[in-house]
Every structure is written in C-alpha cells, then in structure tokens.
C-alpha cells in the first residue's frame, strides 16, 4: 500500500481559505483520521487527496508519485489515482443488484467477466455480504448498504482508501458495530486509510493517529490517547467531551522524567500538582485540564494528594452507565462522571479530587 504526503497544501475559494498550508504524511498501512467541527477543512483536504478538488497551493503525492503540484500546474484526475472512496450517502445505485454495484468500478475499467466475478465475490466475502450478491440494493438495511459501499471501494485493490463520514447515517448501536468491524478489516488488509469525521469517540476508537483541524489548519496530530490526555492547547482540550478547564498560576516547575514536567499550581480556593509537556516559568498563567471521568467525589473533608476542591453538589443526573454530577466550588463549577451506583444527591458538601497524573496544564 502507498503512503500519502501533503506538502504546504492549501485550498482557497476567492478570498476564503478553506485549507491553509497543511503538511501531513500518512504512512503506508496507517489509519489516519481528520477530526474537527464543520467547516474546519477536513473534507476539503480529503477531496484534494481524492482529486475531486484541486489544491491552489502546495503538492500532494501518493507513494512516490506526485498527483498534484499547484506551482507546476500539474494535476492527475481522480480516476487515475487508484483510490477507493466511501462517502456519507454511500451512493448505492438503487436500480442495480449488490453484485452489480460492487462490479461497477471493474466494468468501467473493462476487466474480463471472469475477473469481475472473482473480485466482486472476494470483496463481498470481506464484508460478509456474499449471500446478498443478487439482492436488489433497495432491499438492504443501512448497515448492509455501508458494507456494499466499502466492498465497492476495495474491489479494484486501491492504493489508498478515503472515507468521508461513512457511519454518520447509522444509528448509535450500528455505528459502533460497523466502526469496529471496519477497523478490523482495515488492520487485516493493511490498507492506507484517510478517514474524516466530527465524532470524537469514533476517531478515538478507529485511528492509529488523529489530526485535529480548525479553520483550515492542523492544531495537533498524534495517537488517540496522546491527543485526549495531553492536548497541546486549550482549543484541542475543549474539543473532546466536556473537560474541566481551570485557570491557575504556576508556583513551581520541576522535570518529571522524559519530556514531562511536574507543576505546582494555585487557583481561586485550590492548589495542587499537575503535569505539562513544557517547562513553564513561575508566575505564568496556565489552563489546567481535568476530565470528568478522572475526578472522584468524597464526603471526607481532607485534602488528598494531587488536586482537590471543596464544594456543593448542585446537579446529579442518572444516565444509566454513569451519573453526571455538577459541583459548585470557589474556582468554578466542576463536571464529574461518577459510578451509576454512587449515592450522590443534590445539596451535599463534598470534596472533588484528581491525581496529579490526571491533570494536564497548557499555557494560556
């Protein structure tokens, strides 16, 4: 499988810049996800790799082959890039059977009938749809249509697979199931994959690496756990879930091994220790991120190691798998995800605590 390289790639529409000087390399066999809100440039980036949009700046390569160079005015059209594509709408033709839908990319390439049959049935077996080969497409469920779209994208053995929000039309349960199945398939085939979504949980579960985009730029790229636990900015931290973001002043900063630093910080009515990727001077103002699931609630009014806040429970919502708790503290309101078995009622005075390893600081 081929790698994909974007060098200083931009896309402008008149005075509006949709993608701004993006540099990115997707390694051979890697599953990379572009993640961000609507209008951040992720789909435009995918469409430029696909050849459905032409970059107005920079260069795009697939493997060792340059497919688009804005300065050289060189552009390889989409049909010559050996890419498989799956879109949000699936684009399944209702007048065709499942077999004919999957066979279409081979037939327009004028492949022999025997080869078409062998490859189509092989692709349908990959997605466990071979028994539906002769079924009319309108008789399929949403999940089955999605599998057919993936089989059609894989049937001519593309070098790279591109997917633009392919699960967004499915209900929550089926979206999780199909996402897990697709990830297993991708790992088995080792196919280079560029995936676009605005769903944070989906990106975390599927990807080798996640690229967070905003306003046409890359904010941060890294492994799912790194992006989630160690964001490089307040903006990246705030994009995932509902983290607690607290303003604090640095009182001390010491190396903690490797490239990590341990900070002593102080905020309104609280103080404690957290970690950071950078050495931050005393007196500097930082944002300390603590995620709701990493906080614990106690009615014991003692100060544990790490970080702690005293406050009153002002909201408690049972959500089945957990309870969403809001605690009013002198610093601010804190969101806490507690066990669904926890007996935490509104009005109680509590201590909210987090270990220093669960608290991450970035410069404001």
| CATH classification code of 242-363 | 2.40.50.140
**Spatial CB neighbours of 336, under 8 Å, sequence gap ≥ 6:** 292, 295, 296, 297, 324, 325, 326, 327, 352
Instruction: Give the per-residue pLDDT at 300.
Output: 65
Q: Where are the domains of the chain?
A: 4-234, 242-363
Instruction: Give the per-residue pLDDT at 137.
Output: 85
Instruction: Give the per-residue pLDDT at 302.
Output: 57
40 contacts 16 by C-beta, under 8 angstroms: no
The C-alpha atoms of residue 317 and residue 327 are separated, in whole angstroms, by 12
The C-alpha atoms of residue 4 and residue 27 are separated, in whole angstroms, by 7
DSSP 268: T
Helix (H, G, I), strand (E, B) or coil at 225: helix
The reply to whether domains 4-234 and 242-363 share a CATH topology is no
Structural tokens at position 334: 């804190």
DSSP string of 126-184, one letter each residue: HTT-GGGTTSBGGGS-HHHHHHHHHHHHHTT--SEEEEESTTTTS-HHHHHHHHHHHHH
- Which CATH class name applies to 4-234? alpha beta
Residue the block writes with tokens 């970059």: 55
Instruction: Give the per-residue pLDDT at 259.
Output: 87
How many CA atoms lie within 13 Å of 280's alpha carbon, on the beta-carbon side? 27
Instruction: Give the per-residue pLDDT at 343.
Output: 86
Q: What is the pLDDT along the chain (364 residues), one digit of tens a residue?
A: 799 999 999 999 999 999 999 999 999 999 999 999 989 999 999 999 999 999 999 999 999 999 999 999 999 999 889 898 888 776 788 899 999 999 998 998 889 999 999 999 998 988 888 999 999 988 888 888 888 888 898 888 888 999 998 888 777 787 888 888 888 888 888 999 999 999 999 999 999 999 999 999 999 999 999 999 999 999 999 888 889 999 999 999 999 888 899 999 999 889 999 999 999 999 999 999 999 999 999 876 655 567 999 999 999 999 999 999 999 999 999 999 999 998 899 999 999 999 999 999 999 8
Helix (H, G, I), strand (E, B) or coil at 310: strand
Instruction: Give the per-residue pLDDT at 145.
Output: 87
How many CA atoms lie within 13 Å of 193's alpha carbon, on the beta-carbon side? 31
């Amino acid at each position: 499988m081929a790698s994909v390289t974007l060098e200083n790639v931009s896309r402008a529409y008149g005075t509006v810049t949709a993608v701004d000087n993006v540099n990115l390399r997707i390694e051979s066999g890697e599953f990379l996800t572009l993640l961000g809100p609507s209008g951040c440039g992720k789909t435009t980036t995918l469409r430029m790799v696909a050849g459905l949009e032409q970059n107005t700046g920079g260069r795009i390569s697939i493997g060792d082959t340059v497919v688009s160079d804005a300065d050289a005015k060189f552009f390889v059209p989409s049909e010559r890039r050996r890419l498989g594509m799956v879109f949000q709408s699936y684009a399944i033709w209702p007048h065709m059977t499942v077999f004919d839908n999957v066979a279409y990319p081979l037939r327009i390439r004028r492949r022999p009938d025997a080869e078409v049959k062998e490859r189509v049935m092989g692709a349908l077996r990959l997605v466990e749809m071979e028994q539906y080969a002769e079924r009319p497409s309108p008789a399929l469920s949403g999940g089955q249509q999605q599998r057919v779209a993936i089989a059609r994208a894989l049937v001519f053995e593309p070098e790279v697979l591109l997917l633009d929000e392919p699960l967004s039309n499915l209900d929550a349960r089926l979206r999780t199931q199909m996402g897990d199945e697709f990830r297993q398939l991708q790992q088995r085939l080792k196919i280079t994959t560029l995936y676009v979504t605005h769903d944070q949980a989906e990106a975390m579960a599927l990807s080798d690496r996640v690229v967070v985009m905003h306003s046409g730029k890359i904010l941060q790229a890294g492994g799912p756990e790194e992006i989630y636990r160690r964001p490089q900015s307040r903006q990246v931290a705030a994009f995932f879930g509902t983290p607690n973001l607290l303003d604090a002043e640095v009182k001390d900063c010491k190396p903690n091994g490797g490239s990590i630093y341990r900070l002593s910080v102080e905020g309104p009515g609280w103080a404690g220790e957290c970690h950071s990727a950078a050495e931050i001077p005393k007196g500097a103002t930082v944002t300390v991120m603590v995620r709701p699931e990493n906080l614990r609630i106690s009615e014991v009014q003692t100060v544990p190691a790490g970080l702690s806040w005293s406050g009153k429970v002002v909201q408690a919502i049972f959500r089945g798998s957990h309870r969403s708790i809001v605690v009013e503290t002198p610093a601010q309101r804190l969101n806490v995800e507690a066990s669904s078995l926890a007996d935490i009622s509104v009005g109680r005075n509590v201590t909210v605590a987090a270990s220093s390893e669960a608290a991450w600081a970035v410069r404001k």
